[in-house]
A and B are shown apart, each in its own frame.
Chain A
Amino acid sequence: MNSGHNGSAAISQLERQLAPPAAPMTMPEQIIERKRGVAGLLALFALPFLAAR
């Protein structure tokens, strides 16, 4: 359907025009892993009852 450098460049320029308006916001990376040991798997089965609402 489209080939060659000129075609790709045209598509890239078009893609820039189609992009959503800029409205930046921060999305900080979170800490999701504890560096020290992993909690015992068996203890997990009691966890639902510690923080139920």
Chain B
Amino acid sequence: MVYLRRSASFLFSVTIALTASWLAADVFLADGFDPVDVVRVLLLATTSGWIAWGASLAIQGVAGPAPGNPDRENKAPLKSEKIAILVPVYNEDPVAVLSRVMAMARSIDSLGEAARFEFVILSDTRNEEIATREVHRFLQMKQEGPGDVQFFYRRRDLNTGKKAGNIADFLRSSGGRYDFLIILDADSLMEGETMIEMTRRMEAEPKLGLLQTLPKIIHARSWFGRAIQFSSSFHSPYFASGLAAMQGSTGPFWGHNAIVRTQAFAECCGLPALEGKPPFGGHVLSHDYVEAAMLARRGWTVRVDPDLEGSYEEGPDNIIDFAKRDRRWCQGNLQHARLLSAPGLKAWSRFIFAQGIMAYLASPFWLLFLLASIVAPLMAPPPNYFPVPHMPAIFPTPETAQAVTLLVGIFGLLIGPKLLIALRAALSRETASFGGTAAVMISSAFEIVWSSILAPITLMFQSRSVLQVLRGADGGWPASNRDADAIGMREAWAASWWIMCTGLVLLFGSAQFEPNLFYWFLPITMPLIGAPAIINWSSTRESGKLAAESGVFLTPSELSPSPVIRDYEANRLRWQAAHAADTSDTATEPVAGAANAGPVAV
């Protein structure tokens, strides 16, 4: 069945790529043959095939069983003695992190399984002031938290190997104590029931080495953040279901909100540093993909179960932070080029590496295609009105119908899956938890328009990231700034003036060299030209408030927060208030996304 699904997706992608090439050749060669046209056709074939591959994941997800209906029949009691819940931190806000840990501990305690689970804060924090706060908050949490849950805190002197090194260090020193490790991120939040169910599934399948959940984004405050939050709750489960249907036993690891079998992980996932300097050498940055591949290499099953609810994370609230994170992921994925031929890997693991690389190469390919389309008329041969001697003149005809078919087809591949998901959700009444069918339809329409506006800007950031990595620039690994304030116009301008200039060049170039393309380019050039304003506006709390008050991008975690979310919000409010009382720092900040949040100090 897995073979069949992979074949179907592959054939679908190849068919789309070939059809796009055929239509593109008709359109591009209408004014005669030139080498740039060949490049354009090849670029379009690659990118359209890539889009079709993504669409096929969603189609397979929509065609499968509904995500989010966990099988709770198997309530077998747990057998494992100890499970560690690892929370790696790196200069993050201790109040936010430990508020989440406290909520998760209480959630597990309420289910009577406190004695089995131990929380371990693995600090790689370099900032001494933050580290001191970590220890103080940790002690407070230990004091206030459920007595039966064990809490540990360990800080490394050197953060060698970053997160992967942090976890490996823990495994080598204390891993022997635990049957399983639940690996979280600093912004992860999980229901106790979910963690218990994950453990139960690991116990039930001795060959299962890693089980990944699909975390939903919570606590978005801006328009940008809320759009991602909606998409992660509404669209991602279907994409993940499609992926799960194709993965077989070689599933993904996304680095957090997952459980691993300790012995398997220790045996298989010791990562060496690659020879040479970053970006291609040094420590493996996107280590999670590699760890999944290494587990599968030794015969362990790696799986994502999209039906596991109660798994959350927080995401970037503005385009700049999103682009910074994307820069890291870009470098990590391109570094995988060195691992494509790693010995013994499953074929699908190599394919996943290639897919991750393509996810970033697609952007410069699109950009090259746009530039080639402007340049092409300059390279075109002079028109030959008399291709057949002594016969009447033949004038080149613009292949408008093929061009429109091509454009509609590509756009259809981009938005079609989202429309299918909305239709499926409406028919199966899954829309109820998102505020009803009307709210979902409105949100879907806004999401499609918004992602269309955002796509050219993302394309530019990703193209720059790829170029930087190929030129040998190391992007480093800064801490995520999930509580960042809105991006001001000055900062937005500094980050995106070059995008605006590129938009102007494309607009001017199309008008000057290929006026036929001028209007076709407007949906791309206008967002580029407006990038600073778009970045600024979409990052503001007001934009998020506007969406919330208009009923746009509503999610179940917002409309009906689960107990662990509510508890986390309450903990955070209380500790922030305590922190404000302890210090003279009077900066105020509401808890992100909390409906009942008042102004409190950070």
Contact = CB atoms under 8 A, between A and B. Distances in A.
Contacts of A21: 174, 177
Task: Report the interface size class on chain B.
Answer: 35 or more
A15 B132 contact: no
B341 A34 contact: yes
Contacts of A25: 171-172, 175-176, 262-263, 266
- A15, A27, A51: which has the most chain B beta carbons within 10 Å? A27
B570 interface: no
A9 interface: no
B120 A20 contact: yes
B247 to A, nearest CB: 10
Contact of A24 (B173, B248, B284): B173
Interface string B95-123: 00000000000000000000000101000
A22 B350 contact: no
Interface stretch (B147-155, B494-502, B561-569): B147-155
A1 B583 contact: yes
Nearest to B582: A1
Interface in B147-175: 152-155, 168, 170-175
A20 B170 contact: yes
Interface string A11-44: 1001100111111111111111110011101001
Contacts of B275: 33
B344 to A, nearest CB: 8
A29 B152 contact: no
Nearest to A12: B155
Contacts of B541: none
A21 B136 CA distance: 20
Given A24-B172, A28-B270, A41 B354 contact: yes
Nearest to B135: A11
B560 interface: no
Interface stretch (B28-36, B332-340, B470-478): B332-340
A19 B150 CA distance: 11
Contacts of A44: 340, 350-351, 354
B135 A49 contact: no
B274 interface: yes
A15 B271 contact: no
B185 to A, nearest CB: 19
B583 to A, nearest CB: 7
Nearest to B123: A15
A37 B120 CA distance: 41
Contacts of B128: 8
A2 interface: yes
Contacts of A7: 132
Nearest to B53: A45
A22 to B, nearest CB: 6
Interface stretch (B2-10, B66-74, B415-423): B2-10
Nearest to A34: B341
A48 B246 CA distance: 10
B268 interface: yes
Contacts of A24: 172-176
B209 to A, nearest CB: 14
Nearest to B153: A18
A18 B154 contact: yes
A48 to B, nearest CB: 5
B205 interface: no
A49 B153 CA distance: 46
Contact of B341 (A19, A22, A37): A37
30 contacts: A11-B132, A11-B135, A18-B138, A18-B152, A19-B174, A20-B152, A20-B154, A23-B175, A24-B172, A24-B174, A24-B175, A25-B176, A25-B266, A26-B266, A27-B266, A27-B267, A28-B267, A28-B270, A30-B269, A30-B294, A31-B343, A32-B272, A32-B284, A32-B290, A33-B274, A33-B341, A44-B354, A48-B351, A49-B347, A53-B3
Interface of B: 2-3, 6-7, 10, 84, 118, 120, 128-129, 131-133, 135-136, 138, 152-155, 168, 170-178, 248-249, 262-263, 266-272, 274-275, 284, 290, 294, 337-343, 346-348, 350-351, 354, 583
